[in-house]
Amino acid sequence: MILDSDLARFATDFLENNGGLVDTDSDCLHALLPADLSAALDFPEEVRLGGDDYPLLYGSPILDRLVHAATTDIPVVYGAIAIPYIKKAGFDTAVAHDLSFGNGKVQIGVRAETRTSYMVITGRYIALSDERKEGLMRLTFHEPSGAIIEKFENSITDFECTYFRQDTLPPQFSNRIGASLQTALKSLQYCIAEDMAPFTASMRRRLHRDVTNTREYYRSLAEEMRVSLAHPNLSDTQRMERQQKINSLPAEAERKIADLQHKYDIRIDIRICAAERYIVNVAQLILTILYRKATRTLPVFYNPVTQRIDPLVCESCHKTTRRIFLQDSKTGFILVCPECSRA
């Protein structure tokens, strides 16, 4: 079994941040865990994650346990959003507008009113380099699928909400959202990278400028010293010493450049600081997708908060997408994003 690199990185970071030692090889993470962490996760103190006994896969209970442990300290609020009116017609237009199924045909079947759950996560990041940058990001995902729901977190304030106490939670709040949350956290990282793009570019520009200046400085220094070698008053020893100094300049310049690279390195610390979970009444549509000789049914949701059909998740890379392509698989076909369809 080959490890998913994102899951392996997540598990390694989490275990190491909590006192574990992790040794990675191509198909397994060998971890040594301190007693409290091993008890919290219900793993042995020496564990091979990614092996047959502890598979590290999307949707696996092992991953659920890791995600649960990584997020238990986050404050969570629970609420139900009051939706005054649920859309009852016009779904053909909505589906055509919000989803595309490149090489397949779609029929809209049963529609029903149902409830589903969304989570808004608030993440804070600190980027440290020659300067410091901080930011706060909010992002919503659909809990059962992990799809990122754009603008939900902004529109939610237009609706009334009933909040629940921890001991009176309705059963719609599932505990098994580990894989979805993991997908959402990855999306949060992409958002942060986007938010930081100007900062990253500015650090890169400064590094480039300082490296160019350093090279120029050492080049002219070497040139000056070479000219001075011709001075008639220099003794043989002095000339030899000066030549040695000239010879050592390139290595000195490379050391200075390595220091600069280190100075402009960007280290990012991301913390999830809060989560809000909402139950929302939505219109569920069952789509039938026809591709070559195969058919598949697919539930999609009309989200009254964003007033759009929620996007879907690529069944290969788990990225959120509204542009779906169909790809042959052993069991018929799978739904993939544009990037995966080209791979």
Provide the binding-site residues for Zn ion, judged by CB under 5 A: 314, 316-317, 319, 337, 340
User: Minimum distance between the CB of residue 216 and Zn ion, rounded to whole angstroms?
Assistant: 45
Q: Which is nearer to Zn ion, 129 or 320 (CB)?
A: 320
Q: Which is nearer to Zn ion, 83 or 148 (CB)?
A: 148
User: Minimum distance between the CB of residue 314 and Zn ion, rounded to whole angstroms?
Assistant: 3
Q: Which is nearer to Zn ion, 188 or 337 (CB)?
A: 337
User: Minimum distance between the CB of residue 336 and Zn ion, rounded to whole angstroms?
Assistant: 5
Cα dihedral sign, 224-230-231-236: positive
Q: Which is nearer to Zn ion, 60 or 316 (CB)?
A: 316
Using an 8 Å Cβ cutoff, are 27 and 2 in contact?
Answer: yes
Q: Which is nearer to Zn ion, 230 or 343 (CB)?
A: 343
User: Minimum distance between the CB of residue 323 and Zn ion, rounded to whole angstroms?
Assistant: 11
Which region holds residue 19: left if phi is over 0, alpha if psi is between -120 and 50, else beta? Answer: left
Q: Which is nearer to Zn ion, 81 or 312 (CB)?
A: 312
Q: Which is nearer to Zn ion, 49 or 337 (CB)?
A: 337
Beta-carbon neighbour count of residue 2 at 10 Å?
9
Using an 8 Å Cβ cutoff, are 337 and 321 in contact?
Answer: yes
Strand pairing report for 46-49 and 28-32: antiparallel
User: Minimum distance between the CB of residue 253 and Zn ion, rounded to whole angstroms?
Assistant: 44
Q: Which is nearer to Zn ion, 277 or 319 (CB)?
A: 319
User: Minimum distance between the CB of residue 222 and Zn ion, rounded to whole angstroms?
Assistant: 52
CA dist 173 and 234 (Å) reads: 84
User: Minimum distance between the CB of residue 137 and Zn ion, rounded to whole angstroms?
Assistant: 22
User: Minimum distance between the CB of residue 66 and Zn ion, rounded to whole angstroms?
Assistant: 23
User: Minimum distance between the CB of residue 189 and Zn ion, rounded to whole angstroms?
Assistant: 16
Q: Which is nearer to Zn ion, 114 or 316 (CB)?
A: 316
